[in-house]
């Protein structure tokens, strides 16, 4: 198909194509209707004429047939007029009466088993006379009377000058009126297809735009086949996306650089605090530094997760990830006068995902639970065989109005509390979404919160077959 840079030219061209197609189809349809009406009209006329002749045909007492036609019918079938002819045949095919001088059958009566037949033939002469080849159409009507059978044949010379002049105008054109509505509907359907075909490049651009999000800021609207009138708009949108991508990239780089730069001063500050003589102050300052270090680590995680892509072939044992995490975080929990327990599935639970990323997500949930759990309580990690991990605590729970907000970045319920930056749960959500999983927060019936994650299961890895021990010969 031709390629147009202008949407106006494209629509105009397709409209021309539609008009040409309609101009071809409409005469064909009208021609078909015309032929059908002409045929029905001609058959109806022939039958009426044959039945009119039959009403004037009588069987005399001596067994012969008589045909007494009024002057009107004799004029209609006269050879001088030349349009119509008739012939009456007995069951042996002999002509009893005829309007023709040669008194020959107009049509053959062989295999005439029905009441009426509508044959057509061509003759080398006209119904009356002449040498040109003409098409003759008519009817052969079977009539039974007094145990005798006759065939009344009526024919019309279709080449006659008066054929269809009066009847077609009166019967055909009124029927053409109802064709107007289907044609208009057809044009409406064609117009819909035309505009849909012309707007297809814009639809493709719109579909591409729906896939642009903060994690896929490198996607651009296609400019191939875009109409000339719309191309400046699409180009401007792509340029705006370029600027947004640069802004996002600079923001990520700044976050990562700032987090890296903060790690060294925190390490120096931790070392200098150890030299202070006041042990209570040292302990309090250490807690503050731990909170700051946790925020710095979350900033680094948030910057890294902006470009996180999980390999579809990666698999991880959810039970093993949680067991390693419990071993790592148990001393921290004890230092905060709390405990951590692992329950649920005892064997391996294989899911599709990256073990390190999963470990970060679960760690953020456990650290959040330790922060809100009362002293001398237990934080429980429950691993489900269907690829679920739940972190349960005995804290104050999550308010219903906050359940959709707690996973937003930098959201904190208590702004007066400087213990965190509101990044932990947003990191959890980003990691879970990267694994095509789901995360939700609920309140336990016994009090406290339940943060649960669900991940797609992976196939159990096949263990290599054990080699049979070699048999040794004892000498």
- pLDDT computed for residue 187 by the predictor: 75
State pLDDT tens for residues 441-467.
999 888 899 999 999 998 877 665 555
- Distance CA(423)–CA(138), nearest Å, equals 95
Residue 182 in 3-state DSSP? helix
Query: What mean pLDDT is reported for the chain?
Result: 77
Span of 57-66, 265-274, 328-337, 399-408 with lowest mean pLDDT: 265-274
Give the confidence band of 380 by pLDDT, cuts at 50, 70, 90.
very high
pLDDT, residue 463, reads 60
Tell whether the model's pLDDT for residue 475 goes beyond 50.
no
By mean pLDDT, which of 109-118, 238-247, 358-367 is the weakest? 109-118
Q: Catalogue all structural domains in the chain, each as residue range(s) with its CATH number.
A: 27-177 (3.30.450.140), 207-307 (1.10.287.130), 310-454 (3.30.565.10)
The DSSP bridge pattern shows strands 388-392 and 449-454 to be antiparallel
> Among 60-64, 325-329, 378-382, where is mean pLDDT lowest?
60-64
Percentage of residues in the chain with pLDDT exceeding 90?
13
Position 298 scores a pLDDT of 66
Q: Which residue is associated with the tokens 């001063």? A: 265
Both tokens of residue 144?
């039974």
Can you give the pLDDT at residue 100? 82
Closest CA to 143 of 174, 177, 167, 109: 109
Under 8 Å between Cβ of 126 and 160: no
Residues 314-324 have pLDDT tens digits of: 899 999 999 99
> Model confidence at 94, in pLDDT bands (50, 70, 90)?
confident
Q: Give CA 198 to chain center in angstroms.
A: 19
Average pLDDT over residues 12-32: 73
424, exposed or middle or buried, with CB in 10 Å at 0-12, 13-18, 19+? buried
Predicted confidence band at 387 (pLDDT cuts at 50, 70, 90)?
very high
What's the mean pLDDT in 198-204?
A: 76
pLDDT at 389 > cutoff 70: yes
Average pLDDT of the segment spanning 235-246: 82
Task: Please state, in angstroms and rounded to a whole number, the distance separating the CA atoms of residues 37 and 48.
Answer: 16
Q: Which residues contact 238 (CB under 8 A, 6 or more apart)?
A: 220, 221, 223
pLDDT 10s digits, 128-182: 444 456 678 888 888 887 788 889 989 888 777 666 555 555 555 566 656 666 7
- Residue 462: exposed, middle, or buried by beta-carbon count in 10 A (0-12, 13-18, 19+)? exposed
pLDDT of 474 over the 50 cut: no
């Amino acid at each position: 198909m031709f390629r147009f840079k202008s949407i106006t030219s494209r629509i105009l061209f397709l409209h021309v194509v539609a008009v040409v197609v309609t101009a071809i189809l409409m005469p064909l349809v009208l021609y078909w209707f015309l032929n059908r009406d002409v045929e029905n009209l001609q058959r109806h006329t022939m039958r009426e004429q044959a039945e009119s002749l039959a009403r004037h045909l009588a069987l005399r007492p001596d067994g012969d047939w008589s045909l007494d036609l009024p002057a009107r019918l004799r004029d209609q079938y006269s050879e001088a007029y030349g349009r119509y002819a008739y012939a009456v045949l007995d069951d042996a095919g002999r002509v009893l009466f005829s309007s023709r001088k040669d008194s020959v059958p107009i049509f053959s009566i062989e295999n005439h088993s029905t009441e009426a037949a509508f044959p057509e033939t061509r003759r080398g002469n006209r119904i009356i006379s002449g040498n040109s080849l003409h098409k003759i159409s008519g009817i052969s009507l079977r009539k039974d009377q007094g145990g005798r059978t006759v065939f009344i044949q009526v024919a019309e010379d279709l080449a006659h000058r008066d054929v269809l002049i009066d009847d077609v105008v009166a019967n055909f054109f009124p029927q053409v009126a109802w064709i107007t509505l289907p044609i208009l509907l057809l044009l409406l359907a064609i117009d819909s297809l035309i505009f849909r075909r012309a707007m297809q490049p814009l639809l493709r651009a719109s579909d591409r735009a729906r896939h642009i999000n903060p994690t896929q800021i490198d996607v651009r609207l296609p400019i191939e086949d875009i109409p000339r009138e719309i191309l400046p708009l699409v180009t401007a949108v792509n340029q705006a996306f370029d600027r947004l991508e640069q802004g996002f990239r600079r923001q990520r780089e700044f976050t990562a650089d700032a987090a890296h730069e903060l790690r060294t001063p925190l390490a120096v500050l931790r070392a200098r605090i150890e030299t202070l003589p006041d042990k209570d102050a040292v302990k309090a300052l250490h807690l503050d530094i731990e909170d700051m270090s946790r925020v710095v680590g979350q900033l680094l995680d948030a910057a890294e997760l902006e470009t996180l892509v999980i390999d579809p072939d990666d698999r991880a044992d959810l039970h093993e990830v949680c067991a390693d995490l419990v071993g790592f975080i148990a001393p921290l929990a004890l230092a905060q006068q709390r405990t951590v327990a692992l329950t649920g599935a005892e064997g391996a639970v294989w899911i599709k995902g990256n073990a390190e990323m999963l470990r970060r997500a679960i760690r953020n949930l456990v650290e959040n639970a330790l922060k809100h759990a009362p002293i001398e309580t237990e934080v429980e990690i429950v691993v489900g065989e269907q690829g679920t991990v739940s972190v349960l605590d005995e804290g104050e729970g999550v308010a219903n109005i906050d359940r959709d907000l707690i996973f937003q970045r930098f959201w904190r319920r208590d702004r007066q509390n400087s213990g965190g930056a509101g990044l932990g749960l947003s990191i959890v959500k980003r990691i879970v979404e990267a694994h095509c999983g789901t995360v939700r927060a609920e309140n336990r019936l016994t009090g406290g919160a339940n943060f649960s994650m669900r991940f797609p299961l992976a196939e159990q890895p096949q263990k290599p077959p054990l080699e049979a021990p070699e048999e040794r010969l004892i000498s």
